[in-house]
């Protein structure tokens, strides 16, 4: 089924976004989450 193969390739090509900005964003979110948790614990 060549149609499915084509769709798969198209998805793979347009799927991966630049990982760097996403990575730093995730790390920042994780950091904020940790700080929030610590603040709650201290309270």
Q: What average pLDDT does range 10-27 have in this prediction? A: 59
Give the model's confidence band at 17: pLDDT under 50 very low, under 70 low, under 90 confident, else very high. low
What per-residue confidence (pLDDT) applies to 30?
Answer: 60
- Is pLDDT at 22 greater than 60 in this prediction? no
Distance CA 4, CA 10 (A): 10
Total-model pTM: 0.24
Q: How many CA atoms lie within 13 A of 19 on its CB side?
A: 1
DSSP one-letter code for 28 = H
What per-residue confidence (pLDDT) applies to 11?
Answer: 57
């Amino acid at each position: 089924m060549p149609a499915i193969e084509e769709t798969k390739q198209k998805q793979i090509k347009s799927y991966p976004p630049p990982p760097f900005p996403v990575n730093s964003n995730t790390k920042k979110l994780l950091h904020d989450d940790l700080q929030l948790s610590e603040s709650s614990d201290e309270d």
